[in-house]
Amino acid sequence: MAYYYPEPSHTFSEYLLIPGYTSEECIPDRVSLKTPLVKYRKGMEEPAVSLNVPLTSAVMQSVSNDTLAIALAKEGGISFIFGSQTIESQAAMVARVKGYKAGFVTSASNLTPDATLADVLALKEKNGFSTVAITEDGTANGKLLGIVTSRDYRISRMDPSDKVADFMTPRAKLVTAPKDTTLKQANDIIWEHKLNSLPVVDEEDRLMYFVFRKDYSSHKDNPLELLDSKKRYLVGAGINTRDYATRIPALLEAGADVLVIDSSEGYTCWQEKTLKWVRDNYGDTVKIGAGNVVDREGFRFLAKAGADFVKVGIGGGSICITRETKGIGRGQATALIEVAAARDEYFKETGIYVPICSDGGIVHDYHMTLALAMGADFLMLGRYFARFDESPTNKVMINGAYMKEYWGEGSNRARNWQRYDLGGSAKLNFEEGVDSYVTYAGPLHDNVEASLYKVKSTMCNVGVTTIPDLQKNAKLTLVSSVSIVEGGAHDVTLRSTSNIK
């Protein structure tokens, strides 16, 4: 006879936290959200990689490209660049994150000296930047011949057909900086010469970057940014259980700091084989997470197979229809609670703490706090990040409101068959995800700051200032469906719904 669980599985919205004693020390500004990303001997050593905020972005085409990865690393979290693309383009995205120097911007507007004033104005209209690099071949890294800013022309006195060569500030009059200039040195030059922008050039006078005056305080704005020992942003990358022997070396060569096997279901021989290959070839030097699982057995299997962290969650993602198409999955809260207990049990047995990641299904900001309280070390979010400026997808106007596109890796649009691979012929036979829109929400920084402030405030209500203390001291209660109604605004007529998130 089949096994039946005695209790139904539950999700985040069915739980609430009970406040604990809040002391004077317990204020949001003193809360640390630092958390381990990879396994370590807790109590004996520090983890090789920790996050400064417990957020990672989903391994998805519509979420994690290099732009989002840079924005999230600035806040202290990490992105896993999606693997459902060619090895070359994924490695190039990783390399762009590692090559990114805060404050050093690749020129977005570029023309040749033969271009006209009309071209300058069209470019400004198109991308909004007023600094145009004039290079020999009109590319962002061509030989620098001059710069055009709005100080170089007067529309009322000039003809649209005037040549850039005749009104640009020529190379001879430009102050530039050499290739190895640090941000601090660049800012000193900017101040000394009262510049708005400083071109950085290589030995052959090819343009590498601009440093803009306004960017000078980048580090001060991002005190939690996640950097490696060479002060480059940390970045992760998704892999699959088919082409890992070629994909992993390319990703590592590009500079990936941590990998994750991206799969809808991780309790498989394929994940075990992939992890073994990594350990055989790289020992413990390569950090790799695995998943997803929803119970104790799944966790123990992956921990023993050598995973550096384990992702939890099947069927809870906002774009996910796995439960409907295949009838597999488990309420995210129940899955997390069981896997967290398995992680603690495994730690007691082995002395090794394998962090767990709650993946999918975070809808409200308070779900983040609940997931952490239930034992998650960090979270993975797709829908949440897809809404921001930095996500890779189009912003479109629908019924008068801005939306961003968001599609699942198991949808026909992504065609990421490797994620659902169970061996055999390699193709996506049926969809496990949808193609959708999410409400546009502006810049990542503002949203992450607001969400995490809520998390910190709730932690103060619980009476804790660290994630490990939250996991240890939180008191959680299941709520009845009637008390869920009681928890929302009720028995009043709302004047506005804008403050309900």
We find the least distance from the C-beta atom of residue 411 to ligand IMP, in angstroms, to be 5
Determine the Cα–Cα distance for residues 258 and 241; give it in Å rounded to an integer: 16
Determine the Cα–Cα distance for residues 207 and 150; give it in Å rounded to an integer: 20
269 is catalytic: no
Q: Which residue's CB is nearer to ligand IMP, number 228 or number 435?
A: 435
Two structure tokens written together for 312? 């939890």
We find the least distance from the C-beta atom of residue 268 to ligand IMP, in angstroms, to be 15
Binding mask 115-144 for ligand IMP (x = CB under 6 A): ------------------------------
Determine the Cα–Cα distance for residues 144 and 200; give it in Å rounded to an integer: 10
Total residues in contact with ligand IMP, by rule CB under 6 A: 23
Q: What crossing angle do the helices spanning 87-99 and 244-254 adopt, rounded to 10°?
A: 20
Task: Please report which helix (H) or strand (E) contains residue 192, including its range.
Answer: helix 183-192
Determine the Cα–Cα distance for residues 193 and 183; give it in Å rounded to an integer: 15
Please give the full DSSP string across 61-79, using - where no structure is assigned. TTT-SHHHHHHHHHHT-EE
Binding mask 196-225 for ligand IMP (x = CB under 6 A): ------------------------------
CA distances from 261 to 156, 321, 362 (A): 59, 20, 21
Closest CA to 153 of 169, 140, 136: 169
We find the least distance from the C-beta atom of residue 356 to ligand IMP, in angstroms, to be 14
DSSP 38: S
Two structure tokens written together for 305? 């197979």
Closest CA to 48 of 283, 345, 304: 283
We find the least distance from the C-beta atom of residue 381 to ligand IMP, in angstroms, to be 4
Binding mask 341-360 for ligand IMP (x = CB under 6 A): ------------------xx
Determine the Cα–Cα distance for residues 391 and 351; give it in Å rounded to an integer: 39
Q: Which residue's CB is nearer to ligand IMP, number 122 or number 328?
A: 328
We find the least distance from the C-beta atom of residue 347 to ligand IMP, in angstroms, to be 25
We find the least distance from the C-beta atom of residue 317 to ligand IMP, in angstroms, to be 2
- Which of the residues 227 through 266 are near ligand IMP (CB under 6 A)? 264
Q: How many residues does the chain have?
A: 501
Binding mask 407-426 for ligand IMP (x = CB under 6 A): -xxxx---------------
Q: Which residue's CB is nearer to ligand IMP, number 174 or number 321?
A: 321
Q: Which residue's CB is nearer to ligand IMP, number 372 or number 380?
A: 380
- Which of the residues 313 through 342 are near ligand IMP (CB under 6 A)? 317-320, 322
228 exposed, middle or buried (CB, 10 Å; 0-12, 13-18, 19+)? middle
Determine the Cα–Cα distance for residues 54 and 428; give it in Å rounded to an integer: 32
Instruction: State the SS3 of 351-367.
Output: CCECCEEEECCCCCHHH
Q: Is 60 in the site for ligand IMP (CB under 6 A)?
A: yes
320 is catalytic: yes
Q: Which residue's CB is nearer to ligand IMP, number 133 or number 370?
A: 370
Determine the Cα–Cα distance for residues 388 and 224; give it in Å rounded to an integer: 20
Q: Which residue's CB is nearer to ligand IMP, number 255 or number 361?
A: 361
We find the least distance from the C-beta atom of residue 433 to ligand IMP, in angstroms, to be 2
Q: Which residue's CB is nearer to ligand IMP, number 257 or number 409?
A: 409
User: Near ligand IMP by CB under 6 A, which window of 96-104, 134-142, 199-207, 402-410?
Assistant: 402-410
The one catalytic residue among 26, 232, 300, 320? 320
Residue, CB closest to ligand IMP: 433
Task: Name residue 143's beta-bridge partners.
Answer: 206
- Which of the residues 366 through 385 are near ligand IMP (CB under 6 A)? 380-384
Q: Which residue's CB is nearer to ligand IMP, number 295 or number 409?
A: 409
DSSP 369: H
Residues that bind ligand IMP (CB under 6 A): 58, 60, 264, 317-320, 322, 359-362, 380-384, 408-411, 432-433
Active site residues: 320, 419
